[in-house]
Structure 1
């Protein structure tokens, strides 16, 4: 078996350390995700799933524990190196699309590639290919305000995959959509992830969507267990 794309071990995280209202969010959370594996992270609101995803994606640091991505321990890396790894390796999708309103769908996908040093023509070609894969290529020149909620989120998927990450982290990516649109958008996301062979952790409240992934883990009492 190949090395896991993501290996988090013994993560602890608390907020308001030492104060009467200290909140212990994570308590020994551990998870391994292999290349090509899609894991559903199931947890109620406030259980700490966003904190877990932020630590796994190098946007936050744990109080204790380790995060290893593609065999490299992230624990003691400089901020500059962590940023470089995150930019090259990790794609994020959130419940709200967070597209830049002044740019078109195409430009929203091109921009992160330009920041990563991809030539203009190559970045545009990849953006158009991704938009085509999720069925919104004809909307490439539209700004977010002219797109439906489902179209906006599909563009956000494309943006997350623009720099060809090996790890995808998604926090309730269809939680802001109606059930019918949610199913259609989730199908597009799954097709992209399967096609690219990514390791993915997708947080969701939707147990039907969770059941369609390779396995489920539940965040309970700050730790992860098989759902």
Structure 2
């Protein structure tokens, strides 16, 4: 079995394609993320990092190029198959936590598991274990509004990990936090990632956080290069 969890080959993406105001965001992007590797995607605002992450996570389709997850090429797969792979193999974390406000921290992590066919008891057990691993198990019964920003984002990490994905995609996951909280929350994420052997592609403009990852890539002017 290949160690490559994510492979992007020749990815191109434009907006307003064919119009006078066409903007080419991605130009022939090649990228591989191997099992257990944490890769920083460093990019200025508007460079296309969110677009690249959405393509990698099967939320968007490229104009050209191929996306492979776990060795399976996804561009010609049905919507049902793409959804199944996205649900089982990919976790997402965003700058804003996007937790469901009417549910507790525990329930926010249980719900994706129930949607994936996991029994409630087993889902709750895993949710509690994940919350414990990032230091917020004692907040399990609190709704998001009763949590601090750092606690909310740690719960969001746990939700992304709920179905034990192969790949975690994170878009400025600590960008909405103050520097001290950002450092603590990122440390909790890295501990969780290292313990599970998860592969990660993390977009950030924070060079200090990027330096703590295995490899840094810079996205600029539609191209990708090693830092």
Alignment TM class, shorter chain as reference: over 0.9
Equivalent residue pairs, number: 227
Q: By how many angstroms is 1:70 displaced?
A: 0.5
**Is structure 2 residue 34 aligned with structure 1 residue 50?**
no
Take 1:30 and 1:50, find their aligned partners in 2: how far apart are those partners? 16
Which residue in 2 is equivalent to 1:104? 104
- How well do the aligned residues superpose, as a CA RMSD in angstroms? 0.8
- Equivalent residue, structure 2, for 1:26: 26
Deviation readout 1:66-85 (Å, 9 max, x if unpaired): 00010100110011100000
Q: Give the structure 1 partner of residue 151 of structure 2.
A: 151
Deviation at 1:156, TM superposition (A): 0.1
3-state SS of paired residue (2:27): strand
- 1:109-137, CA deviations, whole angstroms, 9 ceiling, x for partnerless residues? 00000000000000000000000000000
Compute the TM-score of the two structures, normalised by the length of structure 1: 0.99
- Any conservation in 1 of the 2:2–2:71 contact (CA below 8 Å)? no
Q: Which runs of structure 2 are paired with 1:50-199 in the superposition (5 Å)?
A: 50-199=50-199
Unpaired runs of 5+ residues, structure 2, are none
Consecutive unaligned residues in structure 1, runs of 5 or more: none
Rounded to whole Å, the distance in 1 between the matches of 2:117 and 2:98 is 22
TM-score calculated relative to the size of structure 2:
0.99
SS of residue paired to 1:5: strand
- 2: CA distance, partners of 1:30 / 1:51: 14
Residue aligned with 2:4, SS: coil
Q: Is the 8 A contact 1:30 1:223 kept in 2?
A: no
Partners of 2:40 and 2:154 in 1: how far apart? 19
Could you tell me how far 1:170 is from its partner in structure 2? 0.1
| Residue aligned with 2:97, SS | coil
Q: Distance in 1 between matches of 2:110 and 2:90?
A: 17
Q: Is residue 2:214 matched to residue 1:214?
A: yes
| Contact 1:91-1:167 at 8 Å conserved across structures | yes
Work out the CA distance in 1 between the residues paired with 2:2 and 2:65: 22
CA distance in 1 between counterparts of 2:209 and 2:5 reads: 23
